[in-house]
Amino acid sequence: MTFRRAEGAADEERNVGEGPALASVSSPVSDGGKRVIRRLIGHFSLRLIVTGILLVVLAVLILYWMQLKLLDLDAGRSFAQAGMLKLIDTMEVDETGTPHFDEELLDIVRSEGGWLQMLDGQGRATYSVYTPEDVPTAYKPGEFEAYWRKKEPFPYDLAVWIRQRGGVTYTLLYGVIPEEKRLLEMIVEKAGAPGPSSMLPAGLEDRLKEADAALQLLDPSGRQVALFGSAGNVLTEYSLQELALRSVYGNRYDIKQATHYDSRTQYTWVVTIPFHEKGIFAGVLKNEISIMLVAFVGLLLTTLFLFLLLSLWYANRFGGPVLHMIDWLQQLGQGQFREPDGLRGPRSLDRKGRLQRRYRLFADVFLSLRRLTGILSRNEEMRAKLEQTREEWITGVSHDLKTPLTSIKGYSHMLEAPDYGWSTDEICEFAGVIREKAQYMELLIDDLSLTYRLQNEALPLELRETELNDLTDIVIHRFRTNPRFAGARIVFRPAPGPLVTRVDERWLSRAIVNLLANAVLHNPEGTDVEVSVTRDGEAESFARLEIRDNGSGMDEETVGRLFERYYRGTNTEGGSDGTGLGMAIARQIVLAHHGNIRVESELGRGTVVTIWLRQASPQVEAV
């Protein structure tokens, strides 16, 4: 069967060879887009988890550093409180039972003027470091407890640590005369008891400067009477609470302070030595707040640096592919339908034609871009071909209009010629030809107008619930009564039950008639045409109208371009057999009803035209 080519909307979406497109609802996000989203989520989540782990490790390291610095700070303020803990933790015992300590900590013991003893269970000193001669080498239990609790006079302040390691109990004894107390004893010894007229002997002021210490003489009310040495971090007047707190909890004020009160004169000597941090952070890590501030700033700067590196990595990792996609889209916008080239062909592909590693995260996007590029390239070729076909079609239509006009003009000249006297029969014959050609031109113009109205959705449809079996039967009956199709061999097979659709009966009938006319007129005589109405087996919500013939059939190229506009101009040399726009009009009417149409054909085996229309929703009557 050979269909006459006619105008069809080439720029509209075609569904030739497909089922009812309306049976599926497209997702807002395609599967490829979902894969890209999942891939990005996984990629970013993994990187954030790794970054989080690095930050946790970094925070632990900084907290560990902060703890060490706090211990060092406490050890510098009072080795008996913090230094002894570090000394015990770093102690190692050899095979002979001799303990070994960290040399740096032993240097601190020496610089503090302290000494160490290791005592066994009987109170004997088994190990000694920097121990003066006036320190006992053995202690009785009661004697040791009395010295430690200051119940008996002892020239040194004692700190005791008892710990078990490997089943052995170790008792570490640390003794020291604090620097502030040694200096105070020296002052009391050389300057005497404090009083209103107390003076500092020669040589003691130099000693105060060496220790960066301050010596204050306070009157009975706590007001400063005299000041010797440094004036830093001291008060000019002390209350009872201030003097007590600064003497007992000097580390809170970053000082070491000792006092000597004379009950006879009621005056007080006060020695104050500021605490000095040693090392590269000297002057910065002078208290707990400074240490925590440095740790926080260090954590913040390191975190910022880590995120800066991560940002640079992400910019290189994701920015490159995104910029490449932007370049690609800009190139498409300029009419260059190919991927931007790199050094070796398409920028995103390696030598083997595979997607490079840095682009694989957006594999679905690049696949879509390649498909888009291919579609645009093919569309550009089709546009150029369509433009050429359009010109040919306009030439054909002009010819189709000119041919009947030539006949009308010829017969008109003959009728008005004064040299001839036409008989009544001849005049009737000429008028009949003129009327026939005029009717053909009117039909051609109406069909052209109808195709453009359908294409631009300017044709109002009067949709009513219609039983498709009845409508098809009526159309076939009217078609048979037309003298032109009197010999048509058409068989109708209705659906077993009613099929109700919402259609415009007038225009859907026109589409069915056009399809039947093509099946009859453009096939050999004796071709059987079968029309059937059924429910769609795959989509029960659709009714299917099928027109099948056993005629000549069409080749694959003809089937593929059956509904293209301007594919082939109409041929009216055969008189009023038709305008050649029947297939385009039939397709556009079906699409206007939100249906679908498909053509299947094979040379020598006939053609099948299938129409899908959505069934009307059942009405629920109010009870």
pLDDT band at 72 (very low <50, low <70, confident <90, very high): low
**3-class secondary structure, 346:** strand
pLDDT band at 17 (very low <50, low <70, confident <90, very high): very low
pLDDT digits (tens, 9 = 90+) for 493-536: 999 989 999 999 999 999 999 899 888 988 888 899 999 999 88
Q: Where are the domains of the chain?
A: 82-176, 179-276, 460-569+576-614
Q: How far apart are CA 615 and CA 596, in angstroms?
A: 13
Alpha-carbon torsion (173, 68, 56, 290), positive or negative: positive
Q: What class, spelled out in words, does domain 460-569+576-614 have in CATH? A: alpha beta
308-327 average pLDDT score: 80
Closest CA to 595 of 604, 586, 603: 586
Supply the pLDDT for residue 498.
92
Q: Annotate 53-91 with DSSP letters as a single string.
A: HHHHHHHHHHHHHHHHHHHHHHHHH-IIIIIHHHHHHT-
* pLDDT exceeds 50 at position 9: no
* pLDDT exceeds 60 at position 139: yes
pLDDT band at 324 (very low <50, low <70, confident <90, very high): confident
Domain 179-276, classified CATH 3.30.1340, yes or no: no
pLDDT band at 24 (very low <50, low <70, confident <90, very high): very low
pLDDT band at 248 (very low <50, low <70, confident <90, very high): confident
pLDDT band at 539 (very low <50, low <70, confident <90, very high): low
Q: How far apart are CA 249 and CA 239, in angstroms?
A: 15
- Inter-residue long-range contacts of 434-439, CB under 8 Å, 24+ positions, other chains counted: 434/407, 434/408, 436/575, 436/576, 437/404, 437/405, 437/407, 437/408, 438/404, 438/408, 439/576
* pLDDT exceeds 50 at position 595: yes
Residue 470 or residue 205, greater confidence? 470
2-15 average pLDDT score: 39
398-422 average pLDDT score: 83
Token output for 532? 């059937």
Q: Which of 71-75, 417-421, 616-620 has the lowest mean pLDDT?
A: 616-620
Supply the pLDDT for residue 153.
85
pLDDT band at 104 (very low <50, low <70, confident <90, very high): confident
- HSE, side-chain direction, 13 A CA sphere, residue 267: 17
Q: How far apart are CA 580 and CA 568, in angstroms?
A: 9
Mean pLDDT of the chain: 80
Residue 602 or residue 456, greater confidence? 602
CB-based contact 536:544 (threshold 8 Å):
yes
Residue 71 or residue 321, greater confidence? 321
* pLDDT exceeds 80 at position 251: no
Supply the pLDDT for residue 495.
92
Token output for 44? 């970013």
Task: Supply the Cα-derived Rg of the chain in whole angstroms.
Answer: 54
* Same fold yes or no, 179-276 and 460-569+576-614: no
DSSP state of 122: T
552-574 core/surface letters (b: 16 or more CB in 10 A; e: else): bbbeeebbebbbbbbbbbbebee
Strands in 168-176's sheet, in edge-to-edge order, are 125-129, 114-119, 168-176, 157-165
538-564 average pLDDT score: 83
Q: Dihedral, CA atoms, 421, 427, 431, 433, nearest 10 degrees?
A: -90
* pLDDT exceeds 50 at position 26: no
Q: How far apart are CA 78 and CA 73, in angstroms?
A: 8
pTM of the model: 0.42
